[in-house]
Chains A and B, each alone.
Chain A
Amino acid sequence: MAEQLLNTKPDLEKLTAIIADYAGQRWPLIPLVQKIQSEFGYIPQESVPLIAQYLKLFPSQVQGVISFYAQLYTKPRGKKVVRVCRGTACHVRGGKTILKLVKQNLGIEEGETTPDMEYTLETVACIGVCALAPNIVIGDRVFGHMNPKKVEYLLKRGGD
């Protein structure tokens, strides 16, 4: 499914059906794009003119809203999101090196997704478990006390 997303056009019929559902609602834009994101994993660029047409907005306005929220993604994302913490506690305990290692390991930069659609790399400001610093999150699991070996091990195992 994920690979298909990257290589093929999103399913326009499905998109249109989702959008049409929201057309009559009040303030439908945010819930609609969230719904699209939950179905597709991201908000395909192709959906913007469709959303605009149905909601009687301009494409630029829809894009403006989507690009305003960090939680809304405009590119397909991997099966698992790797978030490296860049909070102060992690920073003093080598968070920067951890980030570098993760990048090397996955061969991608921040905000990018591996070609096999497995991982998307992001950073976060703090995840609230500073005692375990440096931390990373893979999917919804937090891993503390990271070190180079552990990074390699975790990513090889697919974050389980």
Chain B
Amino acid sequence: MQPITITLDGNEVSGYAGMSILALAREAGVHIPTLCHDDHLPDIGACRLCIVEEEKSGALMAACVTPIASGMVINTRSPRVVTHRRTIVELMLASHPDACPVCDKGNRCKLRGIAAEMGLSLTQLQRVPQVATIQDVNPFIQRDLSKCVLCARCIRACQELVVEGVLDYFQRGFKSKPATFGDVPLESSDCTFCGTCVALCPTGALMERDAPYRGTTRNKVKTTCPHCGCGCSIELEIKDNRIIRSIPAETDGTGYRPLCVRGSYGYDFTHSPDRLTTPLIRRNGSLQQSDWEEALTLVADGLEKVISKHGAESVAVLGSAHCTNEEAYLLQRLARCTIGTSNVDSGSRLYSAATILGLATTIGLPQPANHVEAIEKSDVIMVVGADPTTSAPAVGYAIKRAVKGKGACLILIDPRRTRLAFFATLHLQPKPGTDIALLSALAHVIVKENLLDKEFVVRRTDNFEPLVRSVEHYTPEYAAGVTGVPAGQIVAAARFYARARQASLVHGSGITQYPTGTDCVRAIANLALLTGNALRKGGGITTLYRESNSYGVMAMGLSPHLLPGFRSATDTRARGDLETLWRVNLPDPPGLTAIEMLQGAISGKIRALYICGEDPISTFPDRQMVTEALASLEFLVVQDIFLTETAKLATVVLPGASPLEKDGTTINFEGKIRRFRRAVTPPGEGRPDWQILAEIAARMKRPLPFSHFDDIVAEMEDCVPGYQYYGGEGRDFDIQSTGTRQQPVEEAPRGFPRFSPVEYQVPAKLDDHEYPFLLLTGGVFPHHSNSIWSLKAPRLKKFLSQGYAELNPEDTHSLGLDNGDTVKITSAAGEVIAPVRSSADIPQGTVFIPCSFPDIAVNVLFRIRLDTQSKAPAFKSCRVKVQRVDSDG
């Protein structure tokens, strides 16, 4: 491309076509003041502060929106320009309240900075400050539009980055302002309190409410949001060992990503007064404070005692997706080497095992998903059993940007009407649990209408014929009968998906938490293979693992079936490699899975359990069974940052550190290795978790060779692909680029991706009469599934602190229920009491109870029914009845 040369303040500089004068000036090191411009937003030229003069024509122009043209002679500092700029700022100040000294924006205010730069203070003009009228009462954001300079950064942030579209200009002239629809407070609008507008507002018009500290600080740490699997980069501001603000940060790994409410306002769980601060030891039946020396010795001795009495296989280790990779690695090392048991797993198996197994036996990779950027480039996006707007907001933003900004087609498959439905071209609402029939019907249409990518299927896949036979009877009409989705919609969805240039499939735990979860993942994989999208760049399958580090803990081998680096626990070569590296004889595989450990505790097979970061009583199905299991153990150690329901039963409780208090890494759902960097120190005597594990090992007969954090990383480099390049500080990593993608699978001898026929199992219809409703459970905004962390964040909790049971208005009507009435929900396994909410967003005949709240322990309603293949229990839906409870009892 021809470079374009212009004269800028007397110097010749060159840029490329389409570049703005501002961009070129920045490149050339010429400072032009700006207010409405932001690198992450499209320019609109609203503030006019970036005004420059074209010498030849004498024209004044806004540098941010004027592209360079050959031969331009631009003056950025001529007297005329300077006078104009001063006038603009004076006018802004004239309609601005005199509040600088008490404004919380302080030094972060751009208007104040620019005024100071120009030497302007109190204005000479007649002052006409605006009056602030909005009364927002939410716990996150407060608006004072009297300080608004109408730069529209908030509007663009809301419409273009997070695509919530809550704000736009309202009215014209002097009355003009950014407003919600109906000019209502944010909490009455569609606002998700993502904080993007607040982070980008140049003045004090939009501010964080209830901020822990109002001043400014220089102490900043770039780290990763710990709440969900998106792993967004955040920058934390710190004052006196307290985090006072969290804003989106830019890192090499993920670029600039707007955060969600948890990333912006959920960091303060780490400062919760409920944090554990000392080790606790059970004495005479109750947990009492202790010190580290005593507690660590007790744990080491207690484990050794059980090992010598009942054998190492009577001990089990259960980690969680809250663990960093280093901790997960250390935990499985502790289990396999120090204790000598194969019984090692993580609670995230409940949600991720079906995916890992389903994908490993089809596409053939323990596959990390597409990058968010790739999803955004897809022309068709199919979302199955996931509500990314709540569970993985960064993905939600990308999908909405693709739809609104690039005209992508969104096919949503979800029984509930989620926020994404507004953006969907097609919203298919199958009856819960019938996804396999629906997905197979899509495959049927693709095969019948010959929409498949023949070359790909013939040359790069195996087992095509059996698939064709298996989908033969899934006609759209048959599927319509099973799923309740009109046949026409099924055909339309299949055509959209198959005809796409590049189609992304996004799925979440909405399908993997059924007993048939693994098959459902296979059905998805079949679609991606038929159309060639599976291995197409920018196409493919994106798994939204439900918990933050689900992918990472699997990669570290925190699983009875997997060794570090996703190598099978039964793979003799892998075992040999690791035995050499670790200098031990590995215990025989396979060990017990999380649920089997608990069942083992009841049967007496398991005597001691070491739990790190998991709270099975609150988060596993079948609460009664879990409680019984934990109570029957001889020795239970719980390492956590809160005194969870599980910790309350422990023999010893060890206080760890939150991810904001330690170094380490996590792998987000894209397969990117993300870093945690210590921002503050743990409260009381809390310690980084790797340290606790290393010290326990050091006190046992077979210690581990780790005395520094770097020792662990060094060893991980030898056995986890991706980590060998992980080295220096400041680098973010991408496991995808380093080879875990596309590993051949055992079941595909030629290393080809393989179709995997699946069948829809007609459920036994026994319970319908007694239990007429279908219960659904899942996460709810602003919390993150059943993670205790978001509930311990004061502002998130303030926004929504209580559970409820949601029913369709038709059902509440026929049951004679009003909003707020109390009902009893009973399943074959147990019952819960909850207040009722009616909502047209859920289909008739279903009840939705969020899994986020301890006051309504929805897990008592589930009996453990394992997915026969992945051994993950069904924990998404079951049959229930709903009865009114009268207030007098």
Which A residues are within 8 Å of any B CB, using their own CB?
45, 48-49, 53, 56-64, 67-68, 70
Q: Considering the chains assembled together, what is the distance between the CA atoms of A63 and B165 in angstroms?
A: 12
Q: Considering the chains assembled together, what is the distance between the CA atoms of A56 and B425 in angstroms?
A: 10
Q: Which of A56, A60, A70 contacts B181 (CB 8 A)?
A: A60
Contact between B182 and A63, CB atoms less than 8 A apart: yes
Contact between B169 and A45, CB atoms less than 8 A apart: no
B171 at the interface (CB under 8 A from A): yes
Q: Considering the chains assembled together, what is the distance between the CA atoms of A62 and B423 in angstroms?
A: 16
Known A-B contacts A45-B182, A63-B181, A63-B182; A58 and B159 likewise in contact (beta carbons under 8 Å)? yes
Q: Considering the chains assembled together, what is the distance between the CA atoms of A62 and B159 in angstroms?
A: 13
Query: Distance in Å from the Cβ of B798 to the closest Cβ of chain A?
Result: 25
B174 at the interface (CB under 8 A from A): no
Q: Considering the chains assembled together, what is the distance between the CA atoms of A48 and B422 in angstroms?
A: 14
Which B residues are in CB contact (< 8 Å) with A67? 169-172
B167 at the interface (CB under 8 A from A): yes
Q: Considering the chains assembled together, what is the distance between the CA atoms of A67 and B167 in angstroms?
A: 14
Q: Considering the chains assembled together, what is the distance between the CA atoms of A62 and B404 in angstroms?
A: 15
B104 at the interface (CB under 8 A from A): no
For A48, the closest partner residue in chain B by CB is B181
Q: Which of B170, B182, B404, B423 contacts A64 (CB 8 A)?
A: B170
Q: Mark B732-772, 1 if CB is under 8 A from A, else 0.
A: 00000000000000000000000000000000000000000
B712 at the interface (CB under 8 A from A): no
Query: Distance in Å from the Cβ of B421 to the closest Cβ of chain A?
Result: 10
Q: Considering the chains assembled together, what is the distance between the CA atoms of A15 and B167 in angstroms?
A: 24
Task: Give the total of B residues in contact with A, Cβ under 8 Å.
Answer: 18
Most buried by A among B166, B168, B169: B168
Contact between B168 and A58, CB atoms less than 8 A apart: yes
Which B residues are in CB contact (< 8 Å) with A63? 168, 170, 179, 181-182
Q: Mark B401-420, 1 if CB is under 8 A from A, else 0.
A: 00010000000000000000
Contact between A61 and B170, CB atoms less than 8 A apart: no
Which B residues are in CB contact (< 8 Å) with A68? 169, 171-172
Q: Which of B166, B167, B170, B422 contacts A53 (CB 8 A)?
A: B422
Which A residues are in CB contact (< 8 Å) with B159? 58, 61
Query: Distance in Å from the Cβ of A69 to the closest Cβ of chain B?
Result: 8
Which B residues are in CB contact (< 8 Å) with A57? 165
Known A-B contacts A45-B182, A53-B422, A68-B172; A60 and B404 likewise in contact (beta carbons under 8 Å)? no
Q: Considering the chains assembled together, what is the distance between the CA atoms of A63 and B171 in angstroms?
A: 9
Q: Considering the chains assembled together, what is the distance between the CA atoms of A87 and B166 in angstroms?
A: 38
Known: A48-B181, A58-B168. 4 other contacts (CB 8 A): A56-B423, A58-B159, A60-B170, A60-B179
Contact between B180 and A60, CB atoms less than 8 A apart: yes
Q: Which of A48, A60, A62 contacts B166 (CB 8 A)?
A: A60
Which B residues are in CB contact (< 8 Å) with A64? 168-170
> Could you show 16 A-B contacts with beta carbons less than 8 Å apart?
A45-B182, A48-B181, A49-B181, A58-B159, A58-B164, A58-B165, A59-B181, A60-B167, A61-B159, A61-B165, A62-B181, A63-B170, A64-B169, A67-B170, A67-B172, A68-B169
Which B residues are within 8 Å of any A CB, using their own CB?
159, 164-172, 179-182, 189, 404, 422-423
For B404, the closest partner residue in chain A by CB is A56
Query: Distance in Å from the Cβ of A1 to the closest Cβ of chain B?
Result: 26
Which B residues are in CB contact (< 8 Å) with A53? 422
Q: Considering the chains assembled together, what is the distance between the CA atoms of A45 and B170 in angstroms?
A: 14
For A68, the closest partner residue in chain B by CB is B172
Q: Considering the chains assembled together, what is the distance between the CA atoms of A61 and B422 in angstroms?
A: 15
For B166, the closest partner residue in chain A by CB is A60
Q: Considering the chains assembled together, what is the distance between the CA atoms of A64 and B179 in angstroms?
A: 8
Most buried by B among A45, A58, A62: A58
For A61, the closest partner residue in chain B by CB is B168
Q: Considering the chains assembled together, what is the distance between the CA atoms of A53 and B179 in angstroms?
A: 19
Which A residues are in CB contact (< 8 Å) with B164? 58
Q: Considering the chains assembled together, what is the distance between the CA atoms of A68 and B164 in angstroms?
A: 21
Q: Considering the chains assembled together, what is the distance between the CA atoms of A57 and B196 in angstroms?
A: 20
Which A residues are in CB contact (< 8 Å) with B423? 56
Query: Distance in Å from the Cβ of A72 to the closest Cβ of chain B?
Result: 11
Q: Considering the chains assembled together, what is the distance between the CA atoms of A59 and B165 in angstroms?
A: 8
Most buried by B among A48, A49, A56: A56
Q: Considering the chains assembled together, what is the distance between the CA atoms of A57 and B159 in angstroms?
A: 10
Q: Considering the chains assembled together, what is the distance between the CA atoms of A58 and B170 in angstroms?
A: 13
Q: Considering the chains assembled together, what is the distance between the CA atoms of A49 and B189 in angstroms?
A: 12
Which B residues are in CB contact (< 8 Å) with A59? 165, 181
Q: 4 closest A-B pairs (Cβ-Cβ)?
A: A58-B165, A64-B168, A59-B181, A60-B168
Which B residues are in CB contact (< 8 Å) with A58? 159, 164-166, 168, 181
Query: Distance in Å from the Cβ of B420 to the closest Cβ of chain A?
Result: 13
Query: Distance in Å from the Cβ of A140 to the closest Cβ of chain B?
Result: 25
Which B residues are in CB contact (< 8 Å) with A60? 165-168, 170, 179-181, 189
Q: Considering the chains assembled together, what is the distance between the CA atoms of A62 and B180 in angstroms?
A: 11
For B407, the closest partner residue in chain A by CB is A56
For A60, the closest partner residue in chain B by CB is B168
For B423, the closest partner residue in chain A by CB is A56
Which B residues are in CB contact (< 8 Å) with A49? 181
Q: Considering the chains assembled together, what is the distance between the CA atoms of A140 and B169 in angstroms?
A: 32
Query: Distance in Å from the Cβ of B675 to the closest Cβ of chain A?
Result: 36
Q: Considering the chains assembled together, what is the distance between the CA atoms of A49 and B190 in angstroms?
A: 12
Q: Considering the chains assembled together, what is the distance between the CA atoms of A45 and B167 in angstroms?
A: 17
Q: Considering the chains assembled together, what is the distance between the CA atoms of A51 and B170 in angstroms?
A: 17
Query: Distance in Å from the Cβ of A64 to the closest Cβ of chain B?
Result: 4
For A62, the closest partner residue in chain B by CB is B181
Q: Considering the chains assembled together, what is the distance between the CA atoms of A70 and B175 in angstroms?
A: 13
Q: Considering the chains assembled together, what is the distance between the CA atoms of A59 and B166 in angstroms?
A: 8
Q: Considering the chains assembled together, what is the distance between the CA atoms of A45 and B181 in angstroms?
A: 10
Query: Distance in Å from the Cβ of B526 to the closest Cβ of chain A?
Result: 31
Q: Considering the chains assembled together, what is the distance between the CA atoms of A61 and B170 in angstroms?
A: 9
Which B residues are in CB contact (< 8 Å) with A56? 404, 423
Q: Considering the chains assembled together, what is the distance between the CA atoms of A64 and B423 in angstroms?
A: 20
Which B residues are in CB contact (< 8 Å) with A48? 181
Q: Considering the chains assembled together, what is the distance between the CA atoms of A52 and B223 in angstroms?
A: 38
For B180, the closest partner residue in chain A by CB is A60
Q: Considering the chains assembled together, what is the distance between the CA atoms of A45 and B182 in angstroms?
A: 8
Which A residues are in CB contact (< 8 Å) with B179? 60, 63
Query: Distance in Å from the Cβ of A122 to the closest Cβ of chain B?
Result: 16
